[in-house]
Amino acid sequence: MSRKITSKPGAAELIPELKKEFRVLYRLFKLKLTHLFRKYPEQCFALMVFLILVSAALNFFVL
């Protein structure tokens, strides 16, 4: 079985790189989120409640 040589990398070559990138981005996002939550706990809690209510309202009106 011969493999075609192309200039574009296939999905198998890209997936490990994407996993690394997402891991780094997730770590940064998590650190930023914990920092914000420690600095402004009341505002973060209010934002979470607001987002839950908005998603519930959207589900109610859409479905």
pLDDT in tens, 12-55: 677 788 888 888 888 888 888 888 889 989 998 999 999 999 99
Q: What is the pLDDT of residue 55?
A: 94
Residue 36 lies in a domain: yes
Residue 53 lies in a domain: yes
d(C-alpha 27, C-alpha 25), whole Å: 5
Q: Using CB atoms within 10 A of its CB, is residue 5 exposed (0-12), middle (13-18) or buried (19+)?
A: exposed
Total number of domains in the chain: 1
Distance set, CA 8 to CA 2, 14, 45, 48, 63 (Å): 17, 10, 45, 42, 42
Residue 42 lies in a domain: yes
pTM exceeding 0.75: no
Q: Note down the domain range covering 62.
A: 31-63
Sign (positive or negative) of CA dihedral 54, 56, 59, 62: negative
Residue 58 lies in a domain: yes
